[in-house]
Chain A
Amino acid sequence: MLRRRLNRLFGRDERRVDSRTIYVGHRPCPTTDAFIPPKFCDNRIVSSKYTVWNFLPKNLFEQFRRIANFYFLIIFLVQVIVDTPTSPVTSGLPLFFVITVTAIKQGYEDWLRHKADNEVNKYLVTVLEDGRRARKESEKIKVGDVVEVVEDETFPCDLILLQSSREDDTCFVTTASLDGESNHKTHYTVPDTEKGLESLSATVECEQPQPDLYKFVGRMHIYKNDQEPAVRSLGPENLLLKGATLKNTQKIYGVAVYSGMETKMALNYQGKSQKRSVVEKSINAFLLVYLCILVSKALVCTTLKYVWQSQPGQEEPWYNQKTQKEKDANLYLNMFTDFLSFMVLFNFIIPVSMYVTVEMQKFLGSFFISWDKDFFDPEIQEGALVNTSDLNEELGQVEYVFTDKTGTLTQNSMEFIECCIDGFQYKNRDSSTELGGFCVTDGPVSMLQQKAGREEEELFLRALCLCHTVQVKESTGQEDGVGDQVDGVLGLDGEMVHPAELRGFIASSPDEVALVKGAMKYGFTFLGMESKNMRVMNRDKDVETYELLHVLNFDPVRRRMSVIVRSKCGDIMLFCKGADSSIFPRVRQEEVDRICMHVERNATEGYRTLCVAYKLLSSEEYAQADAGLREARLALDDREEKLMAVYNQVETGMSLIGATAVEDRLQEEAAETMEALQRAGMKVWVLTGDKMETAKSTCYACRLFQRGTELLELTVRTLEDGGRRREERLHEVLLDYHKRAVQDTPPVKTGITRSWTSAKQDYGFIIDGATLSLVFNSSPDSSHYKSLLLQICQNCTTVLCCRMAPLQKAQIVNMVKNSKGSPITLSIGDGANDVSMILEAHIGIGIKGKEGRQAVRNSDYAIPKLKHLKKLLLGHGHLYYVRIAHLVQYFFYKNLCFILPQFLYQFFCGSSQQPLYDAAYLTMYNICFTSMPILAYSLLEQHICMEVLMSNATLYRDVAKNAMLRWGPFLYWTLLGVYQGLLFFFGVRFLFSNPALQDNGQVFGNWSYGTIVFTVLVFTVTLKLAMDTRHWTWINHFVIWGSLAFYMFFSFFWGGIIWPFLRQQRLYFVFANMLSAVSVWLVIILLILLSLLPEILLLVLRKPRWPHSRQKKLVIQSGEGETRSSARPLLMRTFSDESNTML
């Protein structure tokens, strides 16, 4: 703690300086006169929270920061200090139990962290010290040390790569443990440092530590004898991150730049913000109510006590004198202590055990999700992952589902479908014939020549082969083949031309692989890189080589990437591929006209389209571009912006050669899942970075848009229609849509009652990123627009947001989340671009897809496939909600009817705080007698079995909007508790109007009274739960009957012995004597039955409707299922539905 704070302080000190200077190998440099070895933190990783010494105080402090624990601590202290009716043990023991269990759990977790830390910190690494290799423990590495790492080792700290054993001065790493991307990434050495590490004299100047894994800027000054220091720029490609693993490279040397807690991995190791579920908020609200009840009870009793005492002879009758001390005490102090005593007496109304039970329920319950074999995906050999167990019940409350498109709705396994070269369409599949116009679909490659000129074709295919960042995976020829790399590795099918040359492509995005593979189908095979030369085999089986000069990386803002290559004959060419919107403005218009129609059609068919352009660079142009790029790369500040500027400058005046269409197939059962979610009353919003047309067709394919859906479009296209200012048009369109979707529809409650019998017009809303930012940022009317937009969106069944930046996705989620009624939102996505919305939404779900593991790491739940969402929400979510809601209500109820008789007893004992029940019963009631049945219930209950829940999605609406924890049900349970409490007390009270209950004329005393009430209470409360249980497994039977039996056994046992440690043998044989009286049996049976009677009555009155309505729902639903056949051809849908679009 102290250490970390010191580090932080230190770090803040350092941060005043923008960059840090590191002396490689701690060697002073010629130019700096005074060599002061700068101080950086050591390389110890501390992820543990406690040490042996501070565990107890720190852990206790943290536990008592929880309001509930603190409350119970206060109660306990009051009991210790003030003379209270119950001994401190009654509340101390449960509190101690809870605190101990939590402390043990946290201690164990911390011990595991310590172990993991030690493993990392004590790991032996090789460090070069004055030319000698020395073995050191990892934690002793200092910034500036030159570290050696061999293959398959992880890097001990963040290193700048100085020397690699590979010839091409690269090394491969995998960052699987950092971001889950298991593909190999290439990192480069800093030029000119390869030789003579021992004598290398250099300084590294780099930015202060920051958590972004993909950003790094730095500069290296290399001092050679008598020469001007050479300056080399450093980027993320030079930085090897701690936690990554060296692959395919024998060994490397690197200089440590960030160490210990300043490494990027450690900086990323920050707990996510705690998400709290609605149920928890409900609990807190109920808690407040009960606290009020508690305080008012105590107040009433205190008042009564003093009123009663003021009557003559009552305060101090001769038989019951006060002690001298009591007589001397101050009246007001007495009142206060009396009040506290009453609080203590009634404090069981807020049970400490509820928190334990809720926590246990959540913790244990989450196992059922990860255990569910329906979530197991044989392809990736994984099931669901639960990152937090706090939100189980929230899964049953979702109102808005925000889903990503690529990789979530679609599979993100790309297949090259067709391309368009110079206006001619080429299709690889011999499928459709209905495509009219001048486009011809030919099957085989050999027919290509008939359309576009061979020149253009080859240029296009070369562009596909060159413009990418795909690597060829050297196949070792063994079973280490295709399957084990999940990310973006797609091998060639065995049936291809060269079965011997099994080859896998590695790329960060599956599109690229699909394109390279597509080119291969047409005869151009990418063979791989050979020290900056790209080798391509053309149709004639000749190998062409191109020198790769620059890669202008892809980024989501530019939405394109380029390469600059030099061909054998010396031509310097720039190939660029990217989204149509980013390419079209940079090419000549007549080329666009020829191709854009194809692009649009492809997009409507649900394909991902990319445009390919190229440009020949003259040597002067290249020289200029080269210089610009180099300069920008060397820049320490704003490198990105500068690079972007150069990129934009270079990527102009290109000529368009063609476009590609890649199919991204829908996920399994995507449509069924979406339909089920909609039927369950959830609104599905698709947030994608993709084009509108593509996204729209995906929505049709997923049946998010139906044939009858009226589409309201709010995109750049609609805004530019009128030719006026966008803002004006926006206002107009918004008002129009608002009128149509909000005002003209009857004011039905949205969300719950959307009738899927399609009596009402469905609206679909489409908005794109540019318009959205216009809505959000148009300064004066922003909030007005926003609320208009929100209202429109909320009245639409489906909203499609396309062209979204990751941040905009989060903005949308945030907007909905904070709208009126604060609906529960769920985000589901698979890629890094979904992380922001996953974190923003109430529930974040990650799909273990192909785009790395970032989404999964940041999610609350991760599932292998989209189709699992249905069971997760409709099945598990519904059940968990019902379980926990019942748990909470039941807990409050059972404690209310536990404490109410005790309260009533105060009216009969002179408000003297005399407890009705024995201390053992007070303590054990919540811990032993009634805790297990409800825990078992809350883990196992299936009031409707899983299959029905899944097949009948509308059942989800029964629990929507926190239906079981609203004030209505709470009031019902409270009234039930009050009714039963009154019944217990007064039933026994009337019985005791003649306390001679035994057949030998002997009488019962006050402890018998309490024990009878308590027995009725335990049985009633348990049987009430038994009545609510709809799913009796053997565990339920065991636990329910078991705890009743345990109560009987315990009571006999507790009353059967003179306990030496007890001061008063209050219950000695009370229970046994009680059971020997027939009247007591009769009254117990009567009271139990009478207290359960209203419940049974309600059950009967409510029941007749249920089976019928459910059957009806089932019937209709099955009919519905038939009419909507599962697989309708995509094309038919898109074209027929297109006509509904309003513009």
Chain B
Amino acid sequence: METLLKVDGVSKKYGGKLALNSVSLSIGPGRIVGLLGSNGSGKSTLMRIAAGLTPPSSGSISVLGKPVGKETRSLISYMPDLPLTESWMRVKDAVAFYQDFYADFDLEKAREMLDFMNLKENDRVSSLSKGMGERLQLTLALSRQVNLYLLDEPIGGVDPVARGKILDAIVRFYSEDSSLIVCTHLVRDMERIFDEVMFIQDGVIVLHEEVESIRINRGKGIDDLFKEVFGE
């Protein structure tokens, strides 16, 4: 299978603490992948390294064969768990900011998504609820035309009803030949949109499998397996 993202023996140390311990994995194109782990498991660290925001202490990571760095910026769109927008901005300013910044930004798609998300161009970013803020971040991240989307906790701050809307948007608006890695601890809510899942525990990938194979071979869902592995 063709490889989109390749992570090879990546470790990350913060002071004396090992946040990632020799992680290796590869992801093909056209996949929605869940990166699942509890708080402090290293999942956000792995996302930040894949996004090129922080270098690994050792090991290598590449997208479409190019080492992650300057060259891969136009291949990856990253939705951080904290907003990148400024408080003075209105929704349209945030969109304009992204459009200025990224040549691959698709304004038409952004407008379509804003509409779907019930976001108004004149809304102040600072007055948005946490859930609406997440909708805006997701809109901005998915409106770029790239090969790899990295979404860090896209449904962390929203209530169960609004989660449905965000899942709907992810499935509706992601482009089919690109891949999406979603990191979350809300496994039950998200498991049905994944092709495959990775469990990360103490900086180590302890499982990486197709979700339907897990259901077929183990007769249980991802949430149940997650609870078993993480002993909740």
**A and B bound?**
no
What is the interface of chain B, defined by CB distance below 8 A to chain A? none
